Amino acid sequence: MSSQTQIDDSLAARLRGFGPLGFLAIVLVLLGNVGLAPLGAILVLLWVQLSRTPWREIGYVRPASYIGSAAIGIAFGVAFKLAMKAIVMPLLGADPINQAYHYLVGSPAAIPATLFTLIFVAGFGEETVFRGYMFERLGKLFGSSTAATVLIVLITSTLFGLAHYPEQGLAGTEQAIITGLVFGTIFAVTGRIWMPMVAHAAFDLTAYAIIYWDLETTVAHWVFKAQ
């Protein structure tokens, strides 16, 4: 074995571990994810490559059908968002209007940046970091038992929710925790990230459509009529 191979093996092992270098990698990924989820996700992919972690361990597994999986993800994401807006959030007492993003109503100038954010930041970035990477790292700490998996879903969902608090407040945090629980459960059961990525993007794009066309109050009162 060459000295270079030994160095590469040592680096990979240290990155997979929880010593100083492994901890530094976690910090860099999380910092990269703050407001720049695609950067955090790119750092995750770099970590996978350098640490020689199998891609399947972060959920990057080829689906039986990309088109079929995408179709399921889109349908689920749209239905999930409508259920959240019309049933769950009203039950939690949320304002029908998402004040953080109300400025997007009827604003075509914001469409390109918003679409980029929803597809790449949410769909690709947040799922790669909060589901793929964090499930792998916490799984190495807690194991793969049912109790450990439930704990991992709860931890990642809570962190995912808290990441939304500065911009979206309590209602945004509540919604993010619930979506984290749902997407986290799907990932925990399937071990595949493609469908949650698509569903997450579809969820957010549906939310954007509702806001853009100023339909938030209408959808929020589908089930619980305004008093």
- How much of the chain exceeds pLDDT 90, in percent? 81
Task: Report percent pLDDT > 70 for the chain.
Answer: 94
Confidence band for 3, pLDDT divided at 50, 70 and 90: low
3-state helix, strand, coil in the chain (%, to 5): 80, 0, 20
pLDDT reading at 191 higher than 60: yes
What is the enclosing helix (H) or strand (E) of 185? Answer: helix 165-190
Question: For residue 7, is pLDDT > 90?
Answer: no
Mean pLDDT of 152-179: 95
| 204, pLDDT greater than 70 | yes
Q: For residues 32 and 25, give the distance between their C-alpha atoms in angstroms, rounded to a whole number.
A: 10
Q: How many degrees, rounded to 5, is the angle at CA 72 between CA 96 and CA 168?
A: 30
Helix axes 66-83, 194-212, angle to 10 degrees: 40
- Could you give phi then psi for residue 192, rounded to 5 degrees? -125, 140
More confidently predicted of 121 and 213: 213
Is residue 75 scored above 60 in pLDDT?
A: yes
Both tokens of 88, joined, read: 């769950």
Q: How many residues does the chain have?
A: 227
pLDDT at 88 over 90: yes
Residue 226: pLDDT over 80: no
Residue 28: what pLDDT? 85
Which position has the higher pLDDT, 38 or 106? 106
- Gyration radius from the chain CA atoms: 19
pLDDT band at 194 (very low <50, low <70, confident <90, very high): very high
Going by pLDDT thresholds of 50, 70 and 90, the confidence category of residue 58 is very high
117-150, pLDDT tens digit by residue?
888 888 999 999 999 999 999 999 999 999 999 9
Cα end-to-end distance, the chain, whole Å: 75
